[in-house]
Amino acid sequence: TQLQDEEKSKEYLDELEFLAYTAGGEVLKRFVQKMNIPNPKTFIGKGKMEEVQQFVEANNIDTVVFDDELSPGQQKNIQKILDCKIIDRTNLILDIFAQRAQTSNARTQVELAQYEYLLPRLAGMWTHLERQRGGIGMRGPGETEIETDRRIVRDRIALLKKKLTKIDRQMEVQRGNRGSLVRVALVGYTNVGKSTLMNVISKSEVFAENKLFATLDTTVRKVVIGNLPFLLTDTVGFIRKLPTQLVESFKGTLDEVRESDLLLHVVDISHPSFEDHIASVNKILDEIDGVDKPMLMVFNKIDAYVPETIDDDDLVTEKTKAHYSLTDWKKTWMSRMDGDAVFISALNKENFEEFRKVVYDKVKEIHVARFPYNN
């Protein structure tokens, strides 16, 4: 229905604005256009484009962000019309990952993803590359600028891939050296509280802030609950429409997930679209064959959960779901997950004992199955 569409597009733009803010930008205005099929040349229609153009000129805007991935052609055409920097969602996400990559592994992976994104878009931006590489002597006879640039970028991609294979092998060895301890991985949509939870469980200081993608590199900590030691890994945040370039290049990082024995799927239940987030995460897990692992759903931020109140004369729509109480959600998910769901607040440590107990039981179960004679 129209109401639902409007809500969805507001949520998507909220998220895009949050991404832009994370990347260091400030959003002055949002534009929405309803279209069944995007304009093949300019993505949005002519009238809307004029509206945007007027705003860009009047306010000296330097960047316009689109929520979908633009084709190289669209990006070029729009840039011509608006005469400012045009960024799409993929571009923005890659930018944030680049800003936050801390280890050489993460930096290499992001750089690879950026070059893969750049390759089909070179046609519009060769002058920029020309400046960077310093030119002279790089061109073979008869080659065009763009072909030369493509070759440079392809060489760079090949080099980065080689470097990553080496890093992957090192990481594999490292993982192998961790012995037979049970491995638990925190997964979940970005900003749901994975780092916070990691902090509380392992009493370590993992960087947590209210921005998207605070976590880029995997952190592994040894944790002991009761007398039971296990390894806990914090993984990259998953997000709706994760750029495909990143899914592939973060394979190494996602190997942590693939090789873990238990997944703690953390969910921000205070977020209105938390069910969509669950679906996005499951989709990515599906792509890396991580769906079949034992999984515990950890519904976080119960302190911030507000059941929506609906007036009596409101139409009963899909939204009725939203005024479920926490108890209702608990019932629903307990039955859906066959008991494997806990509801906590990592911030206030609400229900933390129950959480520790559930994790302990799960880890113990795996541990006992692995060492049947030592217990």
Q: Tell me which residues touch ligand GDP (CB under 6 A).
A: 188, 190-196, 208-210, 214-215, 237, 300-301, 303-304, 345-347
How many Cβ atoms are within 10 Å of 36's Cβ, its own excluded?
4
Nearest CB to ligand GDP, comparing residues 146 and 220: 220
CB of 139 to ligand GDP, least distance (A): 45
199 touches 178 (CB < 8 A): no
Which residues are CB-contacts of 14 (< 8 A; sequence separation ≥ 6)? none
DSSP string, 126-141: HHHHHHHH--TT-PPT
Of the pair 43, 305, the CB lying nearest ligand GDP is at 305
Closest to ligand GDP by CB, 82 or 197: 197
Q: How far is the CB of 126 from ligand GDP (least distance, A)?
A: 37
| Residue corresponding to tokens 């944790």 | 223
Helical residues (DSSP H) of the chain, grouped into ranges:
2-22, 46-59, 72-82, 89-100, 104-118, 126-133, 145-176, 194-202, 244-249, 251-258, 274-287, 326-336, 352-370
231 or 239: whose CB is closer to ligand GDP? 239
Q: What is the CA radius of gyration of the chain?
A: 24
CB of 338 vs ligand GDP, minimal distance in Å: 24
Identify which of residues 148 and 235 has a Cβ nearer to ligand GDP in the complex: 235
Task: In angstroms, give the least distance from the CB of 200 to ligand GDP.
Answer: 9
Torsion, CA 125, CA 113, CA 89, CA 86, rounded to 10: -10
Minimum gap (Å) between residue 82 Cβ and ligand GDP: 33
Shortest CB 350 distance to ligand GDP, Å: 8
**Smallest separation (angstroms) from ligand GDP to the CB of 116:** 25
CB distance 360 to 228 below 8 Å: yes
Of the chain, the end-to-end C-alpha distance in Å amounts to 57
Q: Which is nearer to ligand GDP, 56 or 342 (CB)?
A: 342
For the bound state, the minimum distance from the C-beta of residue 103 to ligand GDP, rounded and expressed in Å, comes to 17
Smaller CB distance to ligand GDP: residue 52 or 187? Answer: 187
Nearest to 89 by CA among 257, 272, 271, 212: 212
Of 88 and 268, which has the nearer Cβ to ligand GDP?
268
Query: Which phi and psi (to 5°) does residue 229 adopt?
Result: -85, 145
Measured between alpha carbons, how far is 217 from 107 in angstroms, rounded to an integer? 9
Residue written as tokens 């926490």?
326
